[in-house]
Amino acid sequence: MEYTFLDIEQLQFPEAKTILKKRGITKLNPPQTEAIRKGLLDGKRLVIASPTASGKTLIAELGAISHLKKEGGKVIYVTPLRALTTEKYSTFKEWEPLGFRVGMTSGEYDSEDNYLKNYDIIVTTYEKLDSLWRHRPGWLEEVNYFILDELHYLNDPSRGPVVESVAVRAKRRGLLALSATISNYQEISRWLHAEYVSTSWRPVKLVEGVMYPSGKSYLVTFKDGTTKRVKGDDPIEAYTLDSISRGGQVLVFRNSRRYAEGTAKSLSGKFKETQELLELSKEIEEVEDAGATERENLSLLVRRGVAYHHAGLSRGLREIIERGFKERKIKVIVATPTLAAGVNLPARTVIVGDVFRYNRKVTGFREEIPVMEYKQMSGRAGRPGFDSEGESIIVLRDKRNFEKIFEKYLTSDVEPIESKLGAENAFYSFLLGTLSADGEMTRNALRTYVEETLLSDEMIDSHFDKGVEWLKDHEFIIEEDTVKLTQFGKKVADIYVNPFTAVTVKDSLKGKAPSCDLAYLHMLAYTPDAPIVGTSNMDESLLYDVDCKMFIDEPFDELEMSLYLSAMKIAFIIHDWIEEVDEDTILSRYGIGSGDLRNMVESMDWLTYSGYMIAQVMKEETHEESLRRLNTRVKDGVKEELVELVQIPGIGRKRARQLWNEDIRSLADVVMEPEKVKRILGEKLGERTVHEAARILGKGNHGEERGYDYIP
């Protein structure tokens, strides 16, 4: 197939030419060329479906800047992940010399972010934009062009409802949607009232194959019918070594953390240490936000050019691993599939070690991963500028499923995008968000809005009236001539929690006596907005080691009991955290990673704030005060007496305790005794701490309520 490349000198867009030339771009690639042919620079609404690394971000940049030049207003670029938000923000900052200011936000759900009125291009997440609409800031009315990145997240059961909610509102204005994996792009384009650009062009050719045991070696059958044999004791190990011998880097995907870590450890024995890698391993050893065992394990692997990567690792560890791989120091990363979605890390070879995984909801049930998930992983194969082709290899343990797997993943389309608003909690939250963003309306008008979603007419018929009645029964809305939010309903919409979370909190607290911190933490961890953790290694005797009344009764149902135990484990973890138990002790005691702990702290920080807000609107004053005090402690993991000190930037739980033990117990103490503070913390940090304490006292804002930055 022939592709067209547009010389940038042909662009009627002189400002863009300047920026492109600085990047060394002289021609636009086929997807970019086709987008311009379809009217990108004329403000046409487009859906772009093209492979990973095919230049979709530049299409978005050109669309945004040309829109601002011709139409004015504001542009919002929306991503599904905070890591991508930071990445795209940095990219758009390069256009500021043209006079456009670029801003970013991904936090403070209970906030209008009025400072964003000063920016022309705003990069944010789907959840944050959804929450902003509920607050109705005036500046949001100026936004007349939305760029929806990674639109295939519509198919994600947990994130899809929010992506769809944003798309429904965004499609009323100018719109550009981007994705690497949409099979039913024509249907999605019609839904968004847009034209589509669909191309299979990618900058590095992708070679795909399936590998299985054959005699005393392994046979790879490629998509084009050619084959290749590799020798070794293990298929993943064999192909990894083969690729590296040809100058490649390798991403291996395994379906669990345990397998990822085990495979990385096994592979590391095949490589030698180098001075360059020893320096990188020392960086790993010095990371502050990770547990000692994690640092030690990864340091030993990295010095041999191998690492593992999953959500259990701290952000600091992940950043060093990613940088080491981008700099081509680390040769192999063994990761769980979350890496494929969130980080731009191309490799010569992608090895998909597992196309099966176990369904956590159905014990022992093994299922095949979606084709879309495979495409996200295989899309990382091929390093532009380094490789002439990339390889994606699926590993099978025997030949039995070869033909089925070959056909499904190498020759079939990805699953069509479908609405995920059909689940009750998602649908009810959508109704609540609509009323919060658009104000009161008749029931018929609300139904008309729901009909703008991807839901089928049959699904709407079965859900709509039931949803409205449920929200009325639980006091979120009232209906007279119009449907409108109650004070309780508006508060729940503003703090951005699921209606079922709010009902759990309301029913648990109403008319009940106050209880201990553990009871409040368990109640909040039992809500739909809380994370779920494995409890197979949990000591169930902990359930009975509680000397206060729990708000949630122990269930009889097996599934509910699993959630109950998960909530109890989280409650114990966070309780240890706020009692200043050493972090390494917590990680070891509960069998979690430092990244897991950070995620739990973020979610429980948000949920304790939400619980406090719900108790406030319920006028349950004793619960309100208990939750307020609890919330002040969760983010930093401190006892109550340290809350004031940890407001100082750079002062965490350990340094705050050092100061307290030396009788520096307030912001005023820090300011009044600068020499003592310097002696305790060291000259530089001490001086900065005194300066920051004075600044906070000067502003008079210590103890203020704050918004929350949590994406489940």
| Binding residue positions | 32
For residue 28, the tally of other CB atoms under 10 A from its CB is 23
CA distance 685 to 618: 44
Strand partners, 229: 219
| Overall residue count recorded for the chain in this entry | 712
Asked if 250 and 377 touch (Cβ cutoff 8 Å), the reply is no
Distance of alpha carbon 129 from alpha carbon 89, whole angstroms: 15
Handedness of CA 180, 185, 189, 191 (dihedral sign): negative
Task: Compute the C-alpha angle 399/391/302, nearest 5°.
Answer: 100
- Phi/psi for 375 (5° steps) reads -65, -35
d(CA 312, CA 325): 19
d(CA 671, CA 645) in angstroms, rounded, equals 12
- List 430's β-bridge partners, or say none: none
Q: How far apart are CA 443 and CA 450, in angstroms?
A: 11
- Name every residue whose Cβ is closer than 8 Å to that of residue 557 and which is 6 or more positions away in sequence: none
C-alpha torsion 231→233→236→239, nearest 10? -20
Q: CA 625, 631, 633 angle in degrees (round to 5)? A: 115
Strand, coil or helix: 266: helix
CB–CB of 484/478 below 8 Å? Answer: yes
The distance from CA 496 to its chain's CA centroid, rounded to whole angstroms, is: 16
Cβ atoms 628, 612 nearer than 8 A: yes
Q: Which residues contact 671 (CB under 8 A, 6 or more apart)?
A: 690, 693, 694, 697
The crossing angle, in degrees rounded to 10, of helices 683-699 and 674-681 is 130
Which residues belong to the annotated binding site for ATP? 32
